[in-house]
Amino acid sequence: MSGFNLGLFQKNFGGNHRIAGVSINLGCTKGRGSSTRMFNYCKTHSENPSECINQFIKINNTNNSILLTNWSGNTSRQFNEIYTPKSYSELTSIVSKMTPNTPIIVKSSSYSWSPFLFTKGIYTNKNINPICINTTEYKGEITINETNQTVTCLSGTYLGELLCYLGLNGGYTLDQFPNIPFATIGGAIATCTHGSSTSVGTISELVTELWYVLPGFTEEVKVSNDLLGAYASVLGQIGIITRVTLRIIPTFWLSLNKQTITVTDLINNVSNLFDTSDYLSCYWTPNTNTVDLRQYTKISDSVTLPISLFQCKIDNKFMVYQNIQNMDAYSEAPVLDWQIGNSRHTLNESGLGECDKQSSVPTGNPEYIEVEYAFDISYLQEAINVVNDWVNNYDTQMSLGVFVRFSGEDTLPWLSNCKGIAKNVWFLIDVDKKSNYNYNFNILEKNMWQYVGARPHLGKWNNVDNNTFIEMYGSDGATFLQMANS
């Protein structure tokens, strides 16, 4: 297995069990050097060797370390030590044996495109190779509090599992949701992940309580109210989130209204469209003057012929993707996988409602790199101008048009790009990974900030330096950087 390569890794990356299996075999069968190192490590870090082996994932390549990469392969790092705790006691057992201030990179499903995913972590300003804590098996312990209308779970819980659990246990859901069931709740909160709900900004805004640990700690710490916003956009830099409590809402039915309108009409009516939608999004191709608008509104019941994937969800114990025809609806309003209002085609016409669980984590199509910016709805025209200019004057090689989503406001998370803005537009742009995306994205990022006041999604490509970061996030940004560097 010393030839363990990036391609294989990408294929198996989501199958945490598979990686764990490989690593355990390696512990028994690999060359003496690596096994010895692992057992030495176990001796000093654990009384229980089998527990240690199971947690200690080490796959040797020529550098005697493991190469981790993100979903799209645009960033990677070699690690000598990776732990994959499966429970709270395993996690605290691992971190409590570390010396305080040990540099750590927390990674979960690695869906982030951020170039900083494997470099900016906890105490990583030291010139020491960090230890990786992989939370993809650190999941479950989901409990719903009906009185408070909240749910609490371990931070590595997949969003899909959480949504399914909420649906099956009382008919609840989250009022903001991205379109990726295999991202973890910890990763989603850490990067202020969002969908297209107009009533809230990002998932981070739903946080009501949060706990974290640091190296050398024997127990998790509950975050105090004054720092909740910092940890609700933790970015893997000021602590390992152990568990989190989020606000929940009863699930609901939706009706979809699709129409093509001109860009001019969109700009003129955008505030009104926002006010009359529960979920809102559209597709726009640069240099064109029309958009495909999708407006979703909540309806009170399922009067006629609703399509429900409820049974599918039960069978899979997971939120399910629907077939491609329905993906557009799904992406923007994931609660649709729970129930679909009668505005959709019927099951027989298009096959909508097929039971189709997404089979594995990141076997997606990592051919593109993604950026996303959030900005005030009143700057829509300026944002369109900036993107048109960028497309026309640089060799941008966009993969698709611009996916435009809308969201409400965040007030809690310090680093949310829609904090303090009541009505937000998000521009999502993909470019070919083979293109000169770094150069082009730097130009777009600067112009979007300068002319639109748009801040980048922190789980997508972003290259913000510390000064600009403080400009963007004010005193919260400055304090966050101090916390991260202290």
Ligand X SMILES: Cc1cc2nc3c(=O)[nH]c(=O)nc-3n(C[C@H](O)[C@H](O)[C@H](O)COP(=O)(O)OP(=O)(O)OC[C@H]3O[C@@H](n4cnc5c(N)ncnc54)[C@H](O)[C@@H]3O)c2cc1C
Task: State the residues that interact with ligand X by CB under 6 A.
Answer: 71, 106-112, 117, 135, 155, 178-180, 183-184, 186-188, 190-191, 193-194, 234-236, 240-241, 364, 457, 459-460
Check: CB of residue 241 under 8 Å from CB of residue 189: yes
44 or 486: whose CB is closer to ligand X?
Answer: 486
CA 398 – CA 82 distance, rounded (Å): 35
70 or 277: whose CB is closer to ligand X?
Answer: 70
Starting at the edge strand found earlier in the chain, the sheet holding 143-145 runs 143-145, 150-154, 240-247, 207-213, 221-222
Give the shortest CB-399-to-ligand X separation in angstroms.
Answer: 12
Give the shortest CB-311-to-ligand X separation in angstroms.
Answer: 25
42 or 165: whose CB is closer to ligand X?
Answer: 165
Give the shortest CB-476-to-ligand X separation in angstroms.
Answer: 17
27 or 239: whose CB is closer to ligand X?
Answer: 239
Alpha carbon 239 to its chain's center = 17
246 has which bridge partners? 151, 207
CA 260 – CA 294 distance, rounded (Å): 9
Give the shortest CB-372-to-ligand X separation in angstroms.
Answer: 7
60 or 191: whose CB is closer to ligand X?
Answer: 191
Give the shortest CB-206-to-ligand X separation in angstroms.
Answer: 13
Give the shortest CB-156-to-ligand X separation in angstroms.
Answer: 7
Check: CB of residue 99 under 8 Å from CB of residue 105: no
Token pair 């790092």 is found at 77
98 or 106: whose CB is closer to ligand X?
Answer: 106
CA 414 – CA 246 distance, rounded (Å): 17
CA 267 – CA 287 distance, rounded (Å): 15
302 or 360: whose CB is closer to ligand X?
Answer: 360
190 or 484: whose CB is closer to ligand X?
Answer: 190
CA 160 – CA 357 distance, rounded (Å): 10
Burial of 288 (0-12, 13-18, 19+ CB in 10 A): exposed
236 or 341: whose CB is closer to ligand X?
Answer: 236
Q: Cβ of 365: how many Cβ atoms within 10 Å?
A: 10
Give the shortest CB-70-to-ligand X separation in angstroms.
Answer: 6
Give the shortest CB-485-to-ligand X separation in angstroms.
Answer: 16
Backbone angles phi, psi at 30, to 5 degrees: -75, 170
Strand pairing category for 82-83 and 131-134: parallel
42 or 371: whose CB is closer to ligand X?
Answer: 371
**How is 29-91 classified by DSSP, letter by letter?**
HS-HHHHHHHHHHHHHH-S-HHHHHHHEE----TTSSEEEE-TTSS-EEEES-EE---SHHHH
CA 73 – CA 110 distance, rounded (Å): 10
CA 272 – CA 266 distance, rounded (Å): 10
Give the shortest CB-147-to-ligand X separation in angstroms.
Answer: 27
**Torsion from C-alpha of 27, 33, 39, 41, nearest 10 degrees:** -120
Give the shortest CB-353-to-ligand X separation in angstroms.
Answer: 22
Size (the chain), residues: 486
66 has which bridge partners? 79
Give the shortest CB-188-to-ligand X separation in angstroms.
Answer: 5
Give the shortest CB-301-to-ligand X separation in angstroms.
Answer: 28
Candidates 373, 433, 363, 427; CA nearest to 399 is 433
**Alpha carbon distances (Å) from 333 to 328, 347, 431:** 9, 19, 24
333 or 444: whose CB is closer to ligand X?
Answer: 333
184 or 396: whose CB is closer to ligand X?
Answer: 184
